[in-house]
Amino acid sequence: MAFTRRKFLNYLLGGGLIGWIGSVLYPIFAYLVPPKVPEANVNAVKAGAAGDFPLNSSQIVKFGRKPVILIRDDTGQFRA
């Protein structure tokens, strides 16, 4: 069985079609499946000196990737 020009062109066009379909579908699947990004384990952050916070005040502080409200009450204790 000889490998004819027609078979060669059929294989070439079939491979090109498969490549094109893959190049269209890959970004769609990459968008639908988000990458796994590990989050940093944060146990403590530096928000500033205690004297910088007046009594009965609050400040938004970034704790890892999430914002946290840091509150200093009238007794001088901090709460998050």
- Dump pLDDT digits (tens) for 3-33: 899 999 999 999 999 999 999 999 999 999 9
Question: What band does 1 get if pLDDT is binned at 50, 70 and 90?
Answer: low
Q: What is the 3-state secondary structure (H, E, C) of the chain?
A: CCCCHHHHHHHHHHHHHHHHHHHHHHHHHHHHCCCCCCCCCCCCCCCCCHHHCCCCEEEEEEECCEEEEEEECCCCCEEC
User: pTM score, two decimals?
Assistant: 0.46
* Predicted local distance difference test score (pLDDT) of residue 20: 97
